[in-house]
Amino acid sequence: MQVIWDLLHYGWPGYLDAFSPRFINEFARFCSAAARFISSETPGPHWFSVVNEPSFLCWAGGEMGMFPPFAKGRGNEFKKQLIRATIAGIEAVRDVLPDARFLQVDPIVNIVTDPHAPRRVREQAEGYCRAQFDCLNILTGALFPEVGGDPKYLDVIGCNYYVHNQWVLRGRFIERSDPRYKPLYRLLGHVFETYQRPIMIAETGIEDERRPEWLSYVCDEVETAIRLEIPVHGICLYPIMNHAGWADDRHCHNGLWDYCNEDGSREIYTSLADELRLQQARFHRLFFSSSERDRETAGAFV
């Protein structure tokens, strides 16, 4: 199992203004201290996700006022700030660990329209689809170059993908049976074609009895991508344990293990565990039935 250390995941000390220069400086200091501590306690290779899901956080925290810093209408401003923080964090970690690797994580989505929607609506949906890559483009310097982005800051791209990642503009989610649904391998192919970087599925999962079938679907799509020479290097099943709902505290049955019993043990969801074993064996065969040269470059998958 490869640990990837997540350094900013939707929160920071309350005394910091997320839009201030001090936020960048304090975050860089934190990243440096984290790198020193982690390197003193664990052997390499050392992997980091400096700012988790910056695009989603900019929408939730900079546009909708749902997450910290609870702002509205400041999404683009917050994107620039979070990528400044990402760059400062990467530099701080590299000063301590020059060989550190970095995963840049965000959801991949597909936003569609009704078949007979006016052209302006279709163009709006296309614009939202393009905007999902703003943070990557700022990080590489292709967008808002004054932020200081450069291709050297983009290492591995983490794509978070769930059943609700494709929807009609201002409407409902679409299922795989909908002709407007894009297969996951095509979404991954677009990411690789655009950025020419290795990819991993950084989060995927679903609730209740669909858990095994969803994992099977994602693995089917990843194998298709690999056979099309799209370098997908891993799948991270999320979450590994059931948890309470964000908004309503309900018992979410979406993990491999359930809540702790009175004796401290956890019941495993057998159907998902069986599917996980099948998929691990599948990718082992896919990689280790190949040549010795291919084996040396193969990554661990599920």
Nearest by Cα to 202 from 226, 237, 239: 237
**199 - beta bridge partners?**
157, 232
Residue 114: pLDDT band with limits 50, 70, 90: confident
Mention every residue, 6+ apart, whose C-beta is less than 8 A from residue 17.
Answer: 23, 69
Phi, psi of 237, rounded to the nearest 5 degrees: -75, 125
**pLDDT tens track for 136-153:** 999 999 999 999 999 999
Cα 117 from chain centroid (whole Å): 31
Q: Is the peptide bond before 69 cis (omega within 30 degrees of 0)?
A: yes
Chain mean pLDDT for the chain: 94
**pLDDT tens track for 169-207:** 999 999 999 999 999 999 999 999 999 999 999 999 999
Looking at domain 155-302, its CATH class is alpha beta
Per-residue pLDDT at 302: 57
Per-residue pLDDT at 293: 43
**pLDDT tens track for 32-86:** 999 999 999 999 999 999 999 999 999 999 999 999 999 999 999 999 999 999 9
* Contact of 171 with 117, CB cutoff 8 Å: no
Per-residue pLDDT at 2: 84
For residues 116-135, give the mean pLDDT. Answer: 95
Per-residue pLDDT at 292: 45
| Percentage of the chain exceeding pLDDT 70 | 95
- pTM greater than 0.85: yes
Phi, psi of 140, rounded to the nearest 5 degrees: -85, -5
